Structure 1
Amino acid sequence: MSKPKRIRKAVFPVAGLGTRFLPATKAVPKEMLTVVDRPVIQHVVNEARAAGIEHFVFVTGRGKSAIEDHFDHQFELERTLSDKKKTEALDELLAELPGAGQTSFTRQQAPRGLGHAVWCAREIVGDEPFAVLLPDMLHHGPVPCLKEMIDAYEETGGNLVAVSPVPDDQTHLYGIVGVEDRSAKVSPITEMVEKPPKGAAPSNLHVTGRYVLEPEIFSLLAKQEAGAGGEIQLTDAMIALQREKPGAFRAVRFDGAIYDCGSKIGFLLANVAYALEREDLGPELRAALGRLV
């Protein structure tokens, strides 16, 4: 088998409205809400950078200019930090800033679903494999989730989906995959089901919002009809590809913690978990939480 192409680009669908966080998201993009002292989207971009991603493609919508500004230089702020000798804060700021030409922004002009958002990035991605990271889902573990996926891709090629177990009585709430070997770190996917009826799930492994996809997915998305919610769903195109090419997808099990920052509880838990592991915040927060609860 020839060596697969290197994964250089990642797509971040950030056009969602964030209605579950109103009124906070009335004027602030949901991806810019902070987990401790960084926007959610910064945490996800950091995961991609740690996995070796070189080009960051943001699929945006109206009212999302703050995301573009965040990943750009702010010369007045940088000059102020420099003048006040706040070199540590300045260095930290610059260290997380993508280099010139490493970001692209394209507009999803109508809320037509995740599949449509990914399709909107097709001209920027081109004819090469790419990653997709849903910014609502923070994957927290000793090895970045996308790094594990790219390592697996370099061994197997093809399409990869990150999965994680959920309680059996919750499988109807998620996209679920069946696999050849549930105990394996990487296993071929045998079945994909979006929110299966209770008791009918092929496993308890749910799709967690990280994908490595071959560019052939774009041709399927181009002709994909609207599915759940009247939107073009990425899962539907993946299921179609799996039917055409059995074994086209592999599951990569992520064993760390996952926080759904699209929900209020998940967002709050992420803030607590990320703060507790910080040396400058953890001890004081742990004591404060003990007093509070």
Structure 2
Amino acid sequence: MSKPIKPLRKAVMPVAGLGTRFLPATKALAKEMLPVVDKPLIQYAVEEARAAGIEEFCFVTGRGKTAIVEHFDVAFELERTLEERGKLDVLAELRASTQVPGSIMTVRQQVPMGLGHAIWCARTFIGNDPFAILLPDDLMQCETPCMKQLADAYEETGGNVVAIEEVPRDRVNKYGVLDVAEDRGRLVSVKGLVEKPPVEKAPSNLTIIGRYVLMPEVIGYLSRMEKGAGGEVQLTDGMARLIGDQPFHGLRYEGRRFDCGDKAGFLEAQIAFALTRPDLAPAVRDFLGRYR
């Protein structure tokens, strides 16, 4: 008799990075608080996770990141002012970003030792439960939220599921790359993972993006603090150890990803998201026409 699949209710969000590519804007502002149109990146990630049924969040933070948690708190004075001024639509949007009490916790990653180390820092929060990882720098524009697509695939397959996309062969050395056992189109069975391989040694051009559903056993491998690519504790290396003991799949998600850790990707996201807004799209199309 097959083991029942535990519901996916937890998400870890690593937000300890320094955001050096966006200095000086990120000198006093966490990069996850940079807005795309009128919402910060971290809010897009939390809303995506909530749409997948996730109820508990752990932010792996660093120094100077307190604004991230405060963003999801109740702003009593601001709410009262908006109510007094009759700006009830704005008030409703503001309240929608407030999280249920007790649903957010933070842990500190005092030393930047890689993504695998950041996830290990959340080990007490994870416990013995399956968990999602969302990297807010990867902003997703999908009809069905990307994490909901992964959660549905997890319900179907059990085990570990990562969002994947194909990249040009000469760029595989920037990603975690899949070694494919069976490619069934939407779902790919994985027999191996390699972090940032040299182009000539990459097993495929299918790469992992910043959305994961993982089993808690990965923490045991991360706790060994084995250094991988770049001299850091790599999440990809920990995930690779799970293969063979647990199901492991890649999901070709439906939608678009914007790399908001890159200036050009961030600017593209601003335009793409603004064009989906009826209140902004006409003006955006108008001024874009002037720059042809």
TM-score band by shorter chain is over 0.9
Structure 1 residue 183 displacement after superposition? 4.8
Confirm whether residue 141 of structure 1 aligns to residue 114 of structure 2: no
Answer yes or no: is the 8 Å Cα contact 1:175–1:195 preserved in 2: yes
**Distance of 1:101 and 1:239 partners within structure 2:** 33
Which SS does the other structure have where 1:241 is aligned? coil
Confirm whether residue 216 of structure 1 aligns to residue 251 of structure 2: no
1:71-92 Cα shifts (integer Å, max 9, x gaps): 1011111110011010000001
Q: Which moved more, 1:90-99 or 1:8-17?
A: 90-99
**Distance of 1:232 and 1:91 partners within structure 2:** 42
1:13-44 Cα shifts (integer Å, max 9, x gaps): 00000011111110000000010000011111
**Distance of 1:213 and 1:280 partners within structure 2:** 39
Aligned to 1:292: 291
State the identity as a percent: 55
Structure 1 residue 250 displacement after superposition? 0.7
Aligned to 1:113: 114
Structure 1 residue 155 displacement after superposition? 1.4
Residue identity matched to 2:214: L
* Alignment coverage as a number of residue pairs: 291
Residues 199 and 226 of structure 1, relative CA distance in 2, 3 Å threshold: closer
Confirm whether residue 97 of structure 1 aligns to residue 98 of structure 2: yes
Structure 1 residue 164 displacement after superposition? 0.8
* 1:182-221 equivalence runs, <5 A: 182-221=183-222
Structure 1 residue 56 displacement after superposition? 1.1
Q: Which runs of 5+ in 2 are unaligned?
A: none
Aligned to 1:265: 264
Residues 203 and 183 of structure 1, relative CA distance in 2, 3 Å threshold: farther
Which SS does the other structure have where 1:105 is aligned? strand
1:123-177 Cα shifts (integer Å, max 9, x gaps): 1121110001111111211111110111111111101111011123322332211
Which SS does the other structure have where 1:162 is aligned? strand
Aligned to 2:88: 87
**Distance of 1:202 and 1:226 partners within structure 2:** 21
Answer yes or no: is the 8 Å Cα contact 2:11–2:132 preserved in 1: yes
Aligned to 2:13: 12
Answer yes or no: is the 8 Å Cα contact 1:164–1:255 preserved in 2: no
Q: Which runs of 5+ in 1 are unaligned?
A: none
Structure 1 residue 247 displacement after superposition? 5.9
Answer yes or no: is the 8 Å Cα contact 1:190–1:247 preserved in 2: no
Which SS does the other structure have where 2:69 is aligned? helix
Aligned to 1:70: 71
Structure 1 residue 194 displacement after superposition? 1.7
**Distance of 1:28 and 1:270 partners within structure 2:** 19
Aligned to 1:231: 232
1:210-246 Cα shifts (integer Å, max 9, x gaps): 111111111111113122232211111112232xx26
**Distance of 1:198 and 1:214 partners within structure 2:** 29
**Distance of 1:140 and 1:10 partners within structure 2:** 19
Structure 1 residue 12 displacement after superposition? 0.3
**Distance of 1:249 and 1:190 partners within structure 2:** 8
Structure 1 residue 254 displacement after superposition? 1.3
Residues 151 and 259 of structure 1, relative CA distance in 2, 3 Å threshold: same
1:254-286 Cα shifts (integer Å, max 9, x gaps): 131111111101111111100011111011101
**Distance of 2:120 and 2:174 partners within structure 1:** 25
Which SS does the other structure have where 2:208 is aligned? strand
Aligned to 1:161: 162
* 1:243-254 equivalence runs, <5 A: 245=244, 248-254=247-253
Which SS does the other structure have where 1:149 is aligned? helix
1:166-214 Cα shifts (integer Å, max 9, x gaps): 1233223322113234452112112212222224322221110111111
Which SS does the other structure have where 2:242 is aligned? helix
Q: Over the residues paired in the alignment, what is the CA RMSD in angstroms? A: 1.4
What TM-score, normalized by structure 1, do the two folds share?
Answer: 0.95
